[in-house]
């Protein structure tokens, strides 16, 4: 496979705490659970999958710093 399937296999993201909250500007309700509720599961999955952090590549770092 390729495309986004290939990209997804290289990146696993955690939702941020703010993403579980209601968003009135988009008429979205909050989740029934919090990021704290999911933390143990995220940690277990990251451990099992060998997830690790890495430094941004220089070009990406410039973009992120501008955001």
Query: pLDDT tens across 29-53, in order?
Result: 999 999 999 999 999 988 998 887 7
Please report the pLDDT score of residue 32 as a whole number.
95
Express each pLDDT in 2-22 by its tens digit.
555 555 556 777 889 999 999
The pTM assigned to this predicted structure is: 0.58
3 part of a folded domain = no
Query: Is 21 a domain residue?
Result: yes
- Total number of domains constituting the chain: 1
Supply the mean pLDDT for the chain: 83
Give the structural domain span for 50: 12-66
pLDDT in tens, 57-66: 888 888 888 9
Angstrom distances, CA of residue 11 to CA of 1, 5, 28, 66:
16, 10, 26, 22
In a domain, 33, yes or no: yes
Look at residue 60 in the predicted model and tell me its pLDDT: 82
Mention every residue, 6+ apart, whose C-beta is less than 8 A from residue 35: 14, 15, 16, 17, 19, 20
């Amino acid at each position: 496979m390729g495309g986004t399937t290939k990209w997804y296999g290289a990146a696993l993201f955690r939702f941020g705490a703010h993403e579980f909250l209601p968003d009135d500007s988009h008429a979205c309700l909050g989740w029934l659970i919090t990021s704290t509720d999911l933390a143990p599961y995220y940690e277990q999955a990251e451990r099992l999958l060998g997830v690790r952090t890495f430094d941004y590549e220089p070009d990406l770092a410039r973009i992120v710093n501008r955001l």
